[in-house]
Amino acid sequence: MFENIKNNIDFFIRNKTKFSRKNFVEKNEEKLLHNYLENLYTFDILEQCLKSSNAENAFILDIGSKNWYYAKGEYYFFKSFIKKPHMDGVELDAYRLYSNLYSRYETAKFYIKDLKNTNYIAGDFLSINKNYDYIVWFLPFVTKKPLRHWGLPDRYFMPKKLLAHAYKILNPNGQMLIVNQSINEAIIQKQLLEELNIKYTEKGIVKSNFLEYKNDRYAFIVNK
């Protein structure tokens, strides 16, 4: 209970003040190298899971983008077969501050700065009503514990409602990729998909040689 009260207060304050230092630039070579690998990892996982299609334009949504550290990997994967990708990333807690006093929002601006038609949206995914051809959803909260740990108020814990909304705004013939960490979260994700009668393909554990994570990651693909 105490954690939820604290999260409510902190979340309220950062969304009111939107405090951040401005114009973040990453200069640390080690972090830039890690970012490079994370982008290659992202490209690789998307390539293993999603089918390409030769489109002139396509609208892509990344849900829960954090600081959109991996945006380049996503962008260049879609750019490899779509002439003009339009990419949105939506993040509820965009004004969360890092210890360097830059917010996720300011940090994301740096990671997407060279990507055409790419927007970072600070807000709740539920308020997005545009339709998308591709939805990418890395590590949704399917249990309350990580949501609290990440500083969000309990009222934002609604995995089923979010999944139903994601399916609703996915265009016919669209594809959605959901990646969960650990078998426990994958089991819950599967239950949610089944409760909502959403047809999916279970890809199982997905891995890339570019980066390794402590917890196994499991992918689900939804073709509408």
Ligand X SMILES: C[S@@+](CC[C@H](N)C(=O)[O-])C[C@H]1O[C@@H](n2cnc3c(N)ncnc32)[C@H](O)[C@@H]1O
The reply to whether 10 sits near ligand X by the rule CB under 6 A is: no
User: Should residue 93 be labelled a site residue for ligand X when binding is judged by CB under 6 A?
Assistant: yes
> How far apart are CB 22 and ligand X at their closest, in Å?
21
Q: Name the percent of the chain in helix, strand, coil, to the closest 5.
A: 40, 25, 35
Q: Is 73 in the site for ligand X (CB under 6 A)?
A: no
- Give yes or no for residue 156 binding ligand X (CB under 6 A): yes
Q: Which residues of 73-99 are buried (b: 16+ CB within 10 A; e: fewer)?
A: bbbbbbeeebeebbbbbbbbbbbbbee
Nearest 10 degrees: Cα torsion 135, 143, 72, 107:
130
Distance CA 210, CA 39 (A): 9
Stretch that binds ligand X, among 7-15, 73-81, 90-98, 184-192 (CB under 6 A): 90-98
Among 91, 106, 133, 185, binds ligand X (CB under 6 A): 91
Q: Smaller CB distance to ligand X: residue 55 or 76?
A: 76
Q: Site residues (CB under 6 A) for ligand X?
A: 64-66, 90-93, 124-126, 138-139, 141, 150, 152, 156, 162
